A and B are shown apart, each in its own frame.
Chain A
């Protein structure tokens, strides 16, 4: 006997609105379907009406957790369009903030994983330690969530000796805490037993379904934009791509804890080799007609911005592919043949950011399953056609 269970769009297990429909046989999920579109904000259209500088702050607001990822991805692209190169010190500070953001995102995720696995004290402690890195970000940029450190042609704030010392001191505490969490992971059997074997995604499936970020790395595929297609300063910074072979939620946890240590190493390297000089160059207000694709390894995976300019001070098109969208197909695969009770854990393991991923609206024919993207004008025409053909409704009366 098969049942269909809807979870969401509003559900305590989900932090953001998304609709999951699962066909279950007893406790086992046989088929899953994702329905998106509950959090569409029209950001891409809005970006076409704002100038290059204004769009930095707009792209920053695509996501709260990876706000710096989106601006860096956008700014890298715009710098290529404008043919300017930010100075070395500016680049070092920019990618320093990106690594700090990766630490804060991974610590946040560890807490969420603990919470979903029923280990709430772990959640409290990781989030308390996350405050240390949030404080560093506030000291560097002046704000905790939307750092606003990027500008076209460099960064907006410089670092002084005192700040560098503060960051290094705080990092020592964070490193010590992360070592403790690593020790905890290897020694706490109940936590490990909850995560192991949940949400299995084989290496072949991870590649075939185009998973990104820690999800694909946990399936043993060393895929990282920072290594594969180095942007900015990543070709001169030594670091390793962290992978795990277990292909489950435990593997995704291990990858993130390993990445934390890589982040500490990168930050120490960046601060010790911080070049002197200016932090930004002057950017023109207009960009020549051209198009560019910018890639960036966000904490959640590969982030892609496609930017097209037409010679004015506004972009003609800005297309954002957030990492969560790349992971949706793999999530469905992970959910299949799992238990209903594992849904929040599997879903949390891709670190979903729904509002990042919601871009265009596609219409799906419920009977044939055909999908099409429809323009506003076509939609209006369709509505007129339906209204004209519907004689019965024309006689409808206003009930009040």
Chain B
């Protein structure tokens, strides 16, 4: 047992690069499966509402704008989103995807809202939507 066992380690680190990166100028790369914000590919959406039902934060809202023309509007409230990517897992046609952005803060929460208006797609789901 001796005093100052940690000192050699401390001195060694004087000559090492910092463990952190110089953030706003240098950014770390996010991993391949990073969970950023969800977005919709409207050409694939069959309006099964699986994402709306499974979203734990109630951040997805689908409303019909014109029943006859089968037009729908989807709003993703990114201010409520908890970035769990459950919507991506629930989607039977891969219409929901996650991006890799991480600098998504804003001064106003309403700016975070994303909207799509589209005609319901006719795509064969790769698996049945999870219904009861």
Residues of A near any B CB (own CB < 8 A): 50-51, 53-58, 60-61, 121-122, 125, 128, 131, 138-139, 141-143, 146, 148, 151, 156-157, 180, 183-184, 186-190, 282, 285-286, 313
Contact = CB atoms under 8 A, between A and B. Distances in A.
A188 B56 contact: no
Nearest to B19: A128
A54 B56 contact: yes
Contact of A157 (B3, B33, B82, B83): B33
B104 interface: no
Interface in B76-132: 82-86, 89-90, 98, 130-132
A133 B83 CA distance: 21
B68 interface: no
Given A57-B56, A128-B19, A156-B89, 12 more contacts: A54-B54, A54-B56, A57-B84, A61-B82, A142-B35, A143-B35, A148-B35, A186-B1, A187-B5, A188-B5, A188-B6, A285-B130
A55 B57 CA distance: 10
Given A57-B84, A156-B89, A189 B9 contact: no
B24 interface: no
A57 B80 CA distance: 13
Contacts of B1: 186-187, 189
Nearest to B54: A53
B35 A125 contact: no
Contacts of B10: 121
Given A54-B54, A121-B10, A131-B19, A139 B84 contact: no
Nearest to A131: B19
B54 A51 contact: yes
Contact of A50 (B5, B6, B56, B130): B56
B2 interface: yes
Interface in B1-60: 1-3, 5-6, 9-10, 19, 31, 33-35, 53-57
Contacts of B84: 57, 60, 146, 148
8 closest A-B pairs by beta carbon, nearest first, are A54-B56, A57-B56, A142-B35, A142-B33, A285-B132, A187-B5, A188-B5, A139-B31
A57 B6 CA distance: 42
Interface majority SS on B: helix, strand, loop or mixed? Answer: loop
Given A138-B31, A285-B131, A53 B6 contact: no
A53 B31 contact: no
Given A53-B54, A57-B86, A121-B10, A189 B35 contact: no
Contact of A148 (B2, B34, B85, B132): B85
Contacts of B3: 189-190
15 contacts: A53-B54, A54-B86, A57-B56, A57-B57, A139-B33, A142-B34, A142-B35, A142-B85, A143-B35, A146-B84, A184-B5, A187-B2, A188-B5, A189-B3, A286-B132
Interface of B: 1-3, 5-6, 9-10, 19, 31, 33-35, 53-57, 82-86, 89-90, 98, 130-132
Contacts of A190: 3
A313 B98 CA distance: 27
A204 B82 CA distance: 45
A58 B31 contact: no
Contacts of A125: 9
B82 A57 contact: yes
Contacts of A128: 19
Contacts of A55: 56
A328 B57 CA distance: 32
Contacts of A186: 1
A142 B56 contact: no
Nearest to B33: A142
A244 B67 CA distance: 69
B86 A184 contact: no
Contacts of B82: 57, 61, 146
A221 to B, nearest CB: 29
A142 B31 contact: yes
A53 B132 contact: no
A53 B35 contact: no
B35 A313 contact: no
A122 B35 contact: no
Contacts of B83: 143
Contacts of B53: 51
A143 B81 CA distance: 14
Contacts of A183: 5
Contacts of B31: 138-139, 142
A24 to B, nearest CB: 33
A102 to B, nearest CB: 21
Contacts of B55: 54
Contacts of B130: 282, 285
